[in-house]
Amino acid sequence: MERFQDENKWLGSFGDIINVKCPQCGSQAVVKRIFKSERYYSDSRVLECKNCYYSIKEGTVKYSATVDTYCCNNEDKIQFKSQLLNEKPNKIKLKCPICNEIKEFKPAITEVPFVLNTDNTAAREFSFNAELWYQKEFSRSIFWAYNLEHINYLERYIKADLRERNNNGSTNGTMISRLPKFVKEAKNREKLLKILEKWKK
Ligand SMILES: [Zn+2]
Ligand SMILES: [Zn+2]
């Protein structure tokens, strides 16, 4: 008989490195904690992909530049809005449709906080809203894990015939105590273990 005793780990115990899907190339990437602050949620993170070298820091801001001004004596303005840019441009070269001259204009800059896609069909981490790498739809919910360590811990729990709480530690915030019902149900055991096994390959 396999026995599992809650080690009182909370979700954050597994969250220093989270495997995610790269928002640029779709390969496996990571969201890493930087460890500058002592606190899990206030510490900042970085998303890095080894496949396409995409990298972005938490709190990144992008810029949108707009030009809305007169050039010649014409009553029509020159209007322009840029895509999201990584740097603030000082000047933007535009061709005036009236006099056909190319001139430099000083744009107005708006800061736009960077966020990834926010659709709710996938499980995502909280810093960049990046899709978790290990996730699968399961009985109208999503079964997911942050990384291999998390997978191994879940596996030990799901395999166990005897599951024990451990009241010495912080009891109501443990990862195990917050698992959704479908993960705890015996009828789902074999299916869930198969998913975990696949993820480990
Ligand atoms: Zn990538
Ligand atoms: Zn002009």
The closest of 13, 42, 16 to 174, measured between CA atoms, is 13
Cα separations (Å) of 38 from 22, 34, 42, 45, 173? 27, 10, 8, 13, 19
> What are the structure tokens assigned to 174, written together?
């443990």
pLDDT score, position 104: 94
Distance CA 45, CA 48 (A): 10
- For residue 191, the one-letter residue type is K
pLDDT score, position 170: 56
Distance CA 151, CA 168 (A): 24
Our count of domains for the chain comes to 2
pLDDT score, position 169: 56
- Kindly state whether residues 52 and 73 are assigned to the same domain: no
- Kindly state whether residues 96 and 172 are assigned to the same domain: no
- Kindly state whether residues 65 and 108 are assigned to the same domain: yes
Answer yes or no: are the C-beta atoms of 131 and 120 closer than 8 Å: no
Query: Per-residue confidence of the chain (201 residues) as pLDDT tens digits?
Result: 889 999 989 999 999 999 999 999 999 999 999 988 888 888 889 999 999 999 999 888 899 999 999 888 878 888 999 998 999 999 999 998 888 889 999 999 999 888 787 677 899 998 899 999 999 999 889 999 999 999 999 999 999 989 888 876 555 688 998 999 999 999 999 999 999 999 999
pLDDT score, position 155: 97
Phi, psi of 133 (to 5 degrees): -75, -45
Distance CA 20, CA 118 (A): 15
Answer yes or no: are the C-beta atoms of 34 and 59 closer than 8 Å: no
- Kindly state whether residues 36 and 125 are assigned to the same domain: yes
pLDDT score, position 196: 98
- Kindly state whether residues 131 and 179 are assigned to the same domain: yes
Neighbours of ion ligand 1 (CB under 5 A): 22, 24-25, 27, 49, 51-52, 54
What is the whole-number distance in angstroms between the Cα of residue 66 and the centre of ligand 2?
A: 17
Distance CA 141, CA 67 (A): 46
Ligand closest in space to the Cα of 49 = 1
pLDDT score, position 97: 82
Distance CA 198, CA 151 (A): 11
Which residue, 92, 113, 134, sits at the end of a domain? 113
What is the whole-number distance in angstroms between the Cα of residue 69 and the centre of ligand 2?
A: 10
Contacts of 153 (CB under 8 A, 6+ apart): 7, 9, 14, 175
pLDDT score, position 125: 93
pLDDT score, position 168: 64
- Kindly state whether residues 55 and 67 are assigned to the same domain: no
| Domain span holding position 108 | 61-113
